Amino acid sequence: MSRGVKVRVWGDMALFSRPEMKVERCSYDVITPSAARGVLEAIYWHPGMIWRIDRIHVRKPIQFTSVRRNEVKSKVQASSVLNVMNGGNKDLYICSKDDIVQRAAVLLKDVEYVIEAHFDMSGQANDSDNPGKFKDIIMRRLRRGECYHTPYLGCREFPANFELFEEDPVVTAYEGQEKDLGYMLYDFDYSNPEDIQPMFFRAVMRSGVLDVRDCEVVR
């Protein structure tokens, strides 16, 4: 019983922010393993399973564009909410005229990937759960286009289309070429919820494929 799956995802725009440039956001050249995991989790996830990304196939040439938007800089202050909940006389809103900042974002345009992934069991599954059941649910959702929420390519304003991908081999936009993309975010290490750490890896795209199986992860 195979726990692997290939999913084609595509969209008009995408933004996989580089952590070193997150104020004026700038996208990585390709989807990160953590964003790919996010896409799969939007389709199906259960505490009893963990998604593992194996390979990312880049099906369209990498192109950038930019958009500058008015954004607010503050977050909702938990302390002021608590104050109001307790009957305090505080103002509870953000004024977008006072709190505005213009930020540019460098986005990817017209992207298409095939994400090859599998899942492992996490040990938190119920007695009635097993890999076969998870696999069936995943396949059904992919075939019918069902999802928990609409997956997105890095940010929620860039929705992703998805479908099960069954062709073999996967044709990419960079056949026969090698491209070094430098260090990229691999994912976050959530093992200690008090101290979540980012992990990076050296991304080299060979023939349009980013292979992240057994890659060396740097913290």
Partner 1 sequence: MAEAIKNRYEFVVLFDVENGNPNGDPDAGNLPRIDPESGYGLVTDVCLKRKIRNYVETVKEDAQGYKIYIKEDVPLNRSDSSAYEFLGTDEKGIKDLKKKDPQVDSKIRDFMCRNFFDIRTFGAVMTTFVKAALNCGQVRGPVQLGFARSIDPIISQEVTITRVAITTEKDAENKKTEMGRKNIVPYALYRVEGYISANLARKVTGFSEEDLELLWEAIINMFEIDHSAARGKMAVRELIVFKHSKELGDCPAYRLFDAIEVERKEDVIYPRKYSDYTVSVHEEQIPDSVEVSRKM
List contacts with partner 1 (CB under 8 A).
12-13, 65-72, 75-79, 81-82, 84-87, 89-98, 102, 104, 141, 144-150, 152, 156-159, 161-163, 188, 193-196
Question: What is d(CA 179, CA 124) in angstroms, rounded to the nearest whole number?
Answer: 39
Identify the CA nearest to 160 among candidates 64, 31, 65. 31
Q: Which is nearer to partner 1, 122 or 150 (CB)?
A: 150
Asked if 211 and 179 touch (Cβ cutoff 8 Å), the reply is: no
Q: Which is nearer to partner 1, 96 or 177 (CB)?
A: 96
Q: Which is nearer to partner 1, 92 or 218 (CB)?
A: 92
Q: Which is nearer to partner 1, 120 or 189 (CB)?
A: 189
Q: Which residue matches tokens 């992207």?
A: 111
Minimal distance, residue 139 CB to partner 1, in Å: 14
Minimal distance, residue 33 CB to partner 1, in Å: 17
Question: What is d(CA 163, CA 136) in angstroms, rounded to the nearest whole number?
Answer: 15
Per the structure block, which two tokens stand in for 163? 């479908």
Return the half-sphere exposure (C-beta side, CA atoms, 13 A cut-off) of residue 96: 5
Minimal distance, residue 28 CB to partner 1, in Å: 19
Identify the CA nearest to 155 among candidates 193, 108, 208. 108
Minimal distance, residue 76 CB to partner 1, in Å: 4
